[in-house]
Amino acid sequence: MTERTAPGALAARLTGRPATGERRLSGTLAEVTLDDGRTVMVKLGDGPGAARAEAAGLRWLADAGSVRLPTVYGHDERRLVIDRVSQGSPDARAAVRFGGALAALHAAGAPAFGAAPPGGPREAYIGRAPMRNVHGADWPVWYAEHRVLPYLRRAVDDGTIRPAEATVVERVCERLPDLAGPAEPPARLHGDLWNGNVLWGADGHAWLIDPAAHGGHRETDLAMLALFGCPHLDAVLRGYEQAVPLADGWADRIGLHQLFPLLVHAVLFGRGYAEQALTVARAALSS
């Protein structure tokens, strides 16, 4: 890699500080030390426009003034430069604080379901999977059309889910108006809130990274935390409800909100996640 494209050169240009050290952590991530002692991360995006989408998402989430997010220094066509988060260990007090901050983030709202962050592209990503941000006024209809069915169709086209199996998910989509619970305004979502995107900082706070930010239903973020596990999840939920109570029956709707990430994972990683999605869909229909 040339000096022009090296992570250190990009970090120096976007932070305005000379780089004094550079360490590759993976094929997509590098750690760069600046001359003032700060350390920043240079991250390669997952596809065209991914760096722009992530930068816009981090800034939009930070604008809520609630959850902790790394500072964004900028991006080029493919890579993003942000502060490194000094990590500590999760504990219950930090989890309660995180729950309250997450509730405040969601309450900051969004212009519509499917709204992209200001400056963010319509054609975005969740992990390595494309995610289209299309506005909708009605959550059940929007969630079915733009978060569940596109990944179901892709999984069927790829042979990961058989056409006969797909009907159970389609029936859930048809019944969403009855299954979705009380109507709620669009929330400002992280959008890819699995445990790996929650960093427990050395400062005693939880920090969020790698968003797929958009306007959505707040229960979707919480369902993703539950799906992939989160330290002290009970404390997170306690802090959340102390700040902004959840609607009655929210726990019964967790599986409904997990259909989206499960189908994304089925597209990316195969049959095991497809089977989980089908199990969740069957359970939703029997509730």
What is the set of active-site residues? 192
3-class DSSP state of 248: coil
- Burial of 148-176, coded b for 16+ CB within 10 Å and e otherwise, reads bbbbbebbbeeebbeeebbebbeebbeeb
Q: What kind and span of H or E run contains 59?
A: helix 50-63
The residues, ordered by sequence, that sit 6+ positions from 3 with a Cβ below 8 Å of its Cβ are: 9
Structural tokens at position 20:
């004094």
Q: What kind and span of H or E run contains 55?
A: helix 50-63
Phi first, then psi, for residue 72 (nearest 5°) are -100, 120
